[in-house]
């Protein structure tokens, strides 16, 4: 872990909403081949931080570095251009479009005449799905799929867009136990293939199943970044809820 390259680093990120300081001077580093868990109680600022990294929201203060170079990530498209993709509780796919269209939305393959190349679209989509072992038709309308399949389509989209950082914001919260296990297995595979993953969750078993580092937020403040599994579950929970600890 030590000395591994950094993919994304945020420094001194602050963000306020009317009446609440959602993030206060938060810094963290996300490395390739590593699952970095981001945890903390409800309202601690996890989604705000992930939205800022994914280009969905601008910080009031702070800097973001990708591959060591300072960047402005001012839209999800800009984030995608840097290889950053977020998968959240609110699915971001277009329900009326097909699976294939969703996977390549914003970068549909074109013919020499500039028209959408539907046969290539279908072929590429089928390949992307097969590579992930996702058994869903490229022709299916996304709005007709279960949450699990929609999430798989989102992941297929992320991977086929050459994502390097996958941000999962409570992605398992609406999944069955079996689908959660499959998603965690997918996370493990992508991690081992060199993907950087920022996994937001407060479910301890999920954190320990895949993460080697965890950052704990409380009321918008970074409480600690700790190595796993060296830091125990009870230590993590105490960091989350804010009881003073001396045995750390
Ligand atoms: P978490 O994901 O850890 O539950 P959030 O980042 O969603 O926390 O929220 C952090 C704080 O910021 C909360 O107090 C929340 O109510 C507030 N907040 C988040 N997004 C907005 C918003 N768009 N407008 C106003 N307040 C917000
Ligand atoms: Mg949240």
Dihedral sign from CA coordinates of 52, 58, 62, 64: positive
Which of 12-26, 126-140, 158-172, 177-191 is most confident?
12-26
Is residue 48 lining ligand 1, measured as CB closer than 6 Å? yes
Q: Considering only 33-47, 118-132, 197-211, which range has the smallest mean pLDDT?
A: 118-132
ipTM: 0.98
Greater confidence (64 vs 171) lies with 64
Nearest to 216 by CA among 9, 26, 4: 26
Is residue 17 lining ligand 1, measured as CB closer than 6 Å? yes
Helix 147-160 to helix 118-131 angle (10° resolution) is 110
Q: Which domains does the chain have, with CATH numbers?
A: 1-83+165-171+190-240 (3.40.50.300), 91-163 (no CATH)
User: Whole-angstrom Cα distance, residue 164 to residue 171?
Assistant: 18
Q: What are phi and psi of 74, to 5 degrees?
A: -105, 10
Question: What burial class does residue 177 get, using C-beta atoms within 10 Å of its C-beta: 0-12 exposed, 13-18 middle, 19+ buried?
Answer: exposed
CA 200 to ligand 1: nearest atom:
2
C-alpha 154 – ligand 2 centre gap (Å): 18
Q: What's the confidence (pLDDT) of residue 1?
A: 46
Is residue 44 lining ligand 1, measured as CB closer than 6 Å? yes
C-alpha 42 – ligand 2 centre gap (Å): 7
Q: Which of 13, 15, 16, 17 to mutate to test the pocket of ligand 1 (most atoms within 8 A of CB)?
A: 17
User: Whole-angstrom Cα distance, residue 165 to residue 168?
Assistant: 10
Is residue 40 lining ligand 1, measured as CB closer than 6 Å? yes
Contact 129, 141 (CB under 8 A): no
Strand order in the sheet with 20-30: 20-30, 8-17, 61-66, 69-71
C-alpha 162 – ligand 1 centre gap (Å): 29
CA 48 to ligand 1: nearest atom:
6
Q: What are phi and psi of 218, to 5 degrees?
A: -140, 120
pTM: 0.89
C-alpha 50 – ligand 1 centre gap (Å): 11
C-alpha 203 – ligand 2 centre gap (Å): 13
Q: What's the confidence (pLDDT) of residue 214?
A: 98
- How many distinct helices (H) and strands (E) make up the chain? 8, 10
Does the pLDDT at position 164 exceed 70? Answer: yes
Q: Which of 16, 18, 20 to mutate to test the pocket of ligand 1 (most atoms within 8 A of CB)?
A: 20
Q: Which ligand is nearest to the CA of 41?
A: 1
Contact 200, 39 (CB under 8 A): yes
User: Whole-angstrom Cα distance, residue 148 to residue 154?
Assistant: 10
* Distance of alpha carbon 200 from the chain centroid: 8
Q: Across residues 80-109, what is the average pLDDT?
A: 86
Q: What's the confidence (pLDDT) of residue 3?
A: 53
Going by pLDDT thresholds of 50, 70 and 90, the confidence category of residue 29 is very high
Greater confidence (138 vs 91) lies with 138
């Amino acid at each position: 872990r030590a000395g591994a390259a950094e993919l994304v680093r945020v420094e001194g990120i602050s963000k306020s909403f009317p009446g609440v300081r959602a993030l206060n001077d938060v810094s963290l580093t996300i490395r390739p081949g590593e699952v970095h868990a981001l945890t903390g109680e409800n309202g601690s600022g996890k989604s705000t931080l992930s939205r800022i990294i994914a280009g969905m929201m601008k910080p009031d203060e702070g800097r973001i570095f990708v591959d060591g170079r300072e960047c402005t990530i001012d839209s999800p498209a800009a984030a995608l251009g840097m290889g950053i993709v977020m998968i959240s509780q609110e699915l971001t796919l277009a329900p009326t479009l097909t699976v294939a269209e969703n996977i390549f939305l914003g970068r549909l393959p074109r013919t020499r005449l500039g028209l959408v190349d539907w046969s290539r679209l279908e072929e590429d989509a089928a390949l992307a799905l097969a590579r992930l072992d996702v058994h869903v038709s490229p022709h299916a309308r996304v709005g007709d799929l279960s949450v699990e399949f929609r999430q798989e389509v989102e992941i297929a989209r992320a991977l086929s867009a050459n994502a390097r950082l996958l941000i999962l914001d409570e992605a398992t919260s609406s999944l069955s136990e079996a689908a959660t296990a499959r998603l965690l297995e997918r996370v493990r595979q992508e991690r081992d293939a060199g993907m950087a993953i920022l996994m937001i969750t407060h479910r301890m078993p999920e954190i320990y199943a895949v993460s080697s580092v965890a950052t704990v937020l409380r009321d918008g403040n970074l409480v600690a970044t700790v190595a796993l599994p060296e830091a125990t579950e009870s230590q993590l929970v105490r960091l989350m809820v804010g009881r003073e600890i001396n045995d750390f």
